[in-house]
Structure 1
Amino acid sequence: MFQSKEYILKKHGQNGTDRAYYLKQLTEEYKKTEKQEAKQQVLANLANFAYDPINFNMLWDLQVVDLFLEATTSKDPLLQEFGMGGLANICLEKRHYGYITSKASFINNIKNCIDPTFPSNTIVNAMTTLMQLITEENYTGNFFFASKLT
């Protein structure tokens, strides 16, 4: 459910949870923790926050898109799944879209997640992300099809 600032203020009040602070804490925890299960949980939470446009500015400022992109190349299938889920959720926001499509390596990493040995959620999120990123300009320019899908 998309939430407005007014809705959040009404629900949490003036002294409610500071969302920006919470997202910053999650991002720092993901970067610092050595525990794989903690990384998985944090990235799953960040991917869920990436669904709501009210969080886009905060996630952009925290460079969370880099965490999602990095997770697509992880050996951990859950990190790949949650990274792809985060990208699928956030990729239509203008700045994130531009950043994700700025490097062919990012697109190739997403395409590499369409692999029959991967969990189905990862594959579906990768396909969803690619479908949302394709425009007439980058489709006709062969950007997405420069290398063969693996």
Structure 2
Amino acid sequence: MFTNSRRQEERTGKYGTPRLQYLQELVSQFQNATSEESKERIVANLANFAYDPYNYTFLRQVQCPRLNEPNEKLVEFGVGGICNSCVDPANAAIVTQCGGIPLIIQCLSSPVRNTVNYAVGALYYLCNASNKEEILKPEVVDVMRRYAAAGAVSVSFSNLAQAFLDKHVDEHE
């Protein structure tokens, strides 16, 4: 369910924690967490906030964790948050400017199915005239074609990859 300011106030009450402050606290908890399980829970929570457009401006103001973590769960949740939020052009621009595209492309070869799905979705939203050359490298297009052809193995990979190809790749390439 998407939120607006009035709904948010109803949910948190008059003395509730403002959303920006809450997200900043989550990021601080991540930075101070010592257990991988705590970090995973926090990044999953941040990724869920990235689903709602109400949170986009708040998320742009906090320093969210990066995708270059060695923990596969953190990468999965991180790229999930990127996929959730990069439908917004301002968020997509930040991901691109911060060098996120190569990290997302690396996620295409992850052993974690959700990570790959999120990466395909993120690239679908990120690909535009200004970064098409960076995303539509032959090796990326080849991976997308293989996923599109793998309908018997994974319908979600197949459908998402085919949507990517339909939107961004000329069928004669």
TM range (shorter): 0.7 to 0.9
Matching residue within 102, 112, 116 for 1:108 = 102
Q: CA RMSD in A?
A: 1.9
The aligned counterpart of 2:149 is: none
**Number of residue-to-residue matches in the alignment:** 141
Q: CA deviation at 1:15?
A: 2.0
Q: CA deviation at 1:60?
A: 0.8
The aligned counterpart of 1:2 is: 2
The aligned counterpart of 1:125 is: 118
TM-score, length-normalised on structure 1? Answer: 0.84
Matching residue within 114, 134, 139 for 1:148 = 139
- Trace 1:49-128 onto structure 2 (pairs within 5 A): 49-64=49-64, 67=65, 70=66, 72-102=67-97, 105-115=99-109, 117-128=110-121
- Higher RCO (C-alpha 8 Å, min separation 6): 1
TM-score, length-normalised on structure 2? Answer: 0.74
Larger deviation: 121-130 or 47-56?
Answer: 47-56
1:66-121 CA distance string (max 9 Å, x none): x1xx2x22221101100110100111223221121225x42111011111x51110
The aligned counterpart of 1:23 is: 23
1:22-81 CA distance string (max 9 Å, x none): 1111010111112111000000000001111111111111132xx1xx2x2222110110
- Percent sequence identity is 30
Please tell me whether Structure 1 or Structure 2 has the larger radius of gyration of its CA atoms. 2
Q: Which runs of 5 or more structure 2 residues have no equivalent in the other structure?
A: 144-173
Q: Which runs of 5 or more structure 1 residues have no equivalent in the other structure?
A: none
